[in-house]
Chains A and B, each alone.
Chain A
């Protein structure tokens, strides 16, 4: 089993946006999707999960709508709004940039500095 990874502050929101961008999902579905994509390596702090969802909905980046789940339960499905899509794009670009910079610094050998 691979080692679990802890999420840096503020990245949970981005992951939720990414998960929802692939199609409407209910809360538990988002949880599963993130774990599935990450290859079960992310241990999401459950308590903060819904806080993040509420906050994203408040910002207008995702939109909730009641519907039927796969096992015929009533569930609230979230989908990405246009604003959410823009936000996801901006956030991922920022993240990639930052990761590249940090990785670049860490890759430097002693002689190169």
Chain B
């Protein structure tokens, strides 16, 4: 009811007086005038006539009224709109094709825009996110080398006092175990300084964020996904307790879905920083800082002001000289990582949109020829050219707006597509949704498209000379007038389609190449399983603190897992997951006996159990793998990969050579290393090269050592199973629990195939090949529909002409040639332009996609397009010769 009232009020303010009101007033004036005339002696009939001649018709008065108050344009546009809709309804085939062509382009472009909006323009839900800086130390010699640094809580507080700083958040993450119910679960906790609430400014979904008065109080705030997973989205969770590491915490809040602090190690729970336990004998807890600058402070000014303060705090880090402070807005890493990907995809969808627009133009022009008669009549009875252009534009806008509605609806799903294909490239917090800016964008896009594709046909068709077009109804025999605009549009469409197809070809080609690259190991049916050992609990930790006890504990668990039916091999490893067998830091340097010390002797040290090679199917090329005793001892032996042997031991037999890795062991509170870990080791075996630096990069020389050489507070198991490994998770949990009931297993168990899919290059290539494949398929479809409908229309138009030609004895092939000539020639011209364009742009594009430009895929794309274009010309053209001459002549 109130809605109706509002509409009525709005309508009233636009047109305050009703039709009846205006007419009644006019009639009363008319009558008064008429009475006057009668009083002056005119006969009634005469007076009536004169009154109407002088004042006008009452029925037309409302138009005068609307014209006077400036609503005429509005009325006429309404009329045009109705006319446009009627025209579309009359010709549904045309309408569907035109709307669909645009919906594809607008939908894809809107999807890409909402992606860019969510990822690059507004990725973070924090208040003043553009002022939040991630500080790091940049090496003066190598500006691309930088390091994060940590501050103590007191230092965070000091930094807060600096002039350009609004506030400072200190945070650090740690692993926690849920200990109160069922099987223990390993979760990630993020400790936040107690100003978290004001720093983020994000309103919690329930309860509250960490507040200053929470210091030293055991409270916890839940992440949305954790809350969904663990508490099934229970809204009454506030006030309940959560037991972690045998301590009770009170749940005080749940954060909204958009809050996923921070980055890739999103916390399951958020805790006050003061609860961060100082580990026995460990250093005081330290925090990574995020600095929120005051408004209007430039990054450069803040850098200069904060550098002395930060470096004075960091003096004990002993790396102050040669480094300077760099504040980086938190969005920058994502812009660097995904900016180029998104730009490329945006270019792809814009091409698609242009092709869709060209298609609509072609359709309008082709259809326009059937409407020339109607338009000629309109202009003959006095419609101005502007009026006709306007009407045709409104019709075009009707098409484009319908297309936009369909497209925006589709974009809701389309935008999710890249995210699901390459989840790690985008910030966890960016939520794709259709919001006001995205809607405004697509409405603007629709208007722009409507004008873009509608203007050329409108100008062309409105330039009708009625004298020529009106009798032209019978002059179907005369060869059709100029069609240059069609040919240009067809050529442009074909050229752009070829460009898109060739780009897709390059992407698919390099992705296939990537997939066929030998990995050197067999990822199928192998799962990685991480475990954090009990280091939070001092009593438990003492039990497994020694190297021997820890080895025994790990081996016991390994054997239990291996005894589960269906599990084939279980191997231990430390950060040894291919294709990134990631050592703890960088490659280590080593010496080999009998060779001069070379500075460049660097290799990746991979710590594994002896079953690793069997579990991953890495072949043994020479010698042997270490045995159980050697594994327990850890020292004096090593296995190298083929890349190592060829690079460093090329001159002689690898077996029996000695090497020494001086960089071991790693100094860490939790690390236990073997007695002779840095002593000389004999190479007892050479194994095949398994990818260890990403799927697309050459294998780095690697030294495999028993994992007992350097043991850390966590361990990995590689489990090869029959069938899908993840289905064994439950029985593995039970097996582990039979050794130690409180031993948790990390949630992040994943198969080695998943590890490949997460590889940055792999996921980017997959994203490009799938999306560009889709784009180019759409473009191909659009271009072929464009050519098809153009030929079909022109054949329908010229039926009479063809009939006459055939009747006069023209060969059928000649008539066929006439029917397809223009379309075929323009398509061929488009191919040539496309090939030229692509050989120029292809190299640049390939470089952007970080893949090799493939000439073969360009050729394949061109062949496919040529074949399609040929068929699209020929199929409708057959009708030109299919109709018997007598019948086509009878149309007249």
Quote the shortest CB–CB distance from A98 to chain B (angstroms). Answer: 26
Quote the shortest CB–CB distance from A113 to chain B (angstroms). Answer: 44
Residues of B close to A24: CB separation below 8 A: none
Query: A26 touching B68 by the CB < 8 A rule?
Result: no
Interface positions of B from 46 to 87, Cβ below 8 Å from A: 54-56, 61, 64-65, 67-70
Instruction: From the candidates A28, A54, A71, A76, name the one contacting B64 in the complex (CB within 8 A).
Output: A54
Given A28-B33, A46-B55, A46-B56, residue A54 in contact with residue B28 (CB < 8 A)? no
Q: Is residue A74 contacting chain B, with contact meaning CB distance below 8 A?
A: yes
B32 nearest CB neighbor, chain A only: A28
Q: Is residue A55 contacting chain B, with contact meaning CB distance below 8 A?
A: yes
Q: How many A-B residue pairs have CB under 8 A?
A: 56
Given A47-B56, A71-B35, residue A58 in contact with residue B69 (CB < 8 A)? yes
User: Complex Cα distance A64/B67, Å?
Assistant: 18
Query: A50 touching B64 by the CB < 8 A rule?
Result: yes
Residues of A close to B70: CB separation below 8 A: 58
Q: Is residue A73 contacting chain B, with contact meaning CB distance below 8 A?
A: yes
Q: Is residue B24 contacting chain A, with contact meaning CB distance below 8 A?
A: yes
User: Complex Cα distance A32/B69, Å?
Assistant: 24
Q: Is residue A15 contacting chain B, with contact meaning CB distance below 8 A?
A: no
Query: A69 touching B32 by the CB < 8 A rule?
Result: yes
Instruction: From the candidates A46, A51, A69, name the one contacting B67 in the complex (CB within 8 A).
Output: A51
Given A28-B33, A46-B56, A50-B64, residue A73 in contact with residue B28 (CB < 8 A)? yes
Residues of A close to B68: CB separation below 8 A: 50-52, 54-55, 58
User: Complex Cα distance A64/B25, Å?
Assistant: 10
Residues of A close to B26: CB separation below 8 A: 27, 50
> How many residues belonging to A are interface residues under a CB distance threshold of 8 Å?
19
Interface centre among B25, B26, B35 (most CB of A within 10 A): B25
Quote the shortest CB–CB distance from B628 to chain A (angstroms). Answer: 99
Interface SS, B side: helix
Indicate with 1 or 0, residue by residue over A69-102, a CB within 8 angstroms of chain B CB atoms.
1010111100000000000000000000000000
Quote the shortest CB–CB distance from A66 to chain B (angstroms). Answer: 8
Residues of A close to B28: CB separation below 8 A: 26-28, 69, 73-76
Query: B25 touching A51 by the CB < 8 A rule?
Result: no
Residues of A close to B24: CB separation below 8 A: 74
User: Complex Cα distance A28/B32, Å?
Assistant: 7
Given A46-B56, A50-B64, A73-B31, residue A27 in contact with residue B25 (CB < 8 A)? yes
Indicate with 1 or 0, residue by residue over A28-51, a CB within 8 angstroms of chain B CB atoms.
100100000000000000110011
A49 nearest CB neighbor, chain B only: B55
Which B residues are closer than 8 A to A by beta carbons? 16, 24-26, 28-29, 31-33, 35, 54-56, 61, 64-65, 67-70
Which A residues are closer than 8 A to B by beta carbons? 26-28, 31, 46-47, 50-52, 54-55, 58, 64, 69, 71, 73-76
Give me 12 other A-B pairs in contact (C-beta within 8 A), A51-B67, A73-B28 excluded: A26-B32, A31-B29, A50-B29, A50-B55, A50-B68, A51-B64, A54-B64, A55-B68, A58-B16, A58-B70, A73-B31, A74-B24
25 A–B pairs (Cβ distance < 8 Å), ordered by A: A27-B25, A27-B26, A27-B28, A27-B29, A28-B32, A31-B33, A46-B54, A46-B56, A50-B26, A50-B55, A50-B61, A50-B68, A51-B64, A51-B68, A52-B68, A54-B65, A54-B68, A55-B68, A58-B69, A64-B25, A69-B28, A71-B32, A74-B24, A76-B25, A76-B28
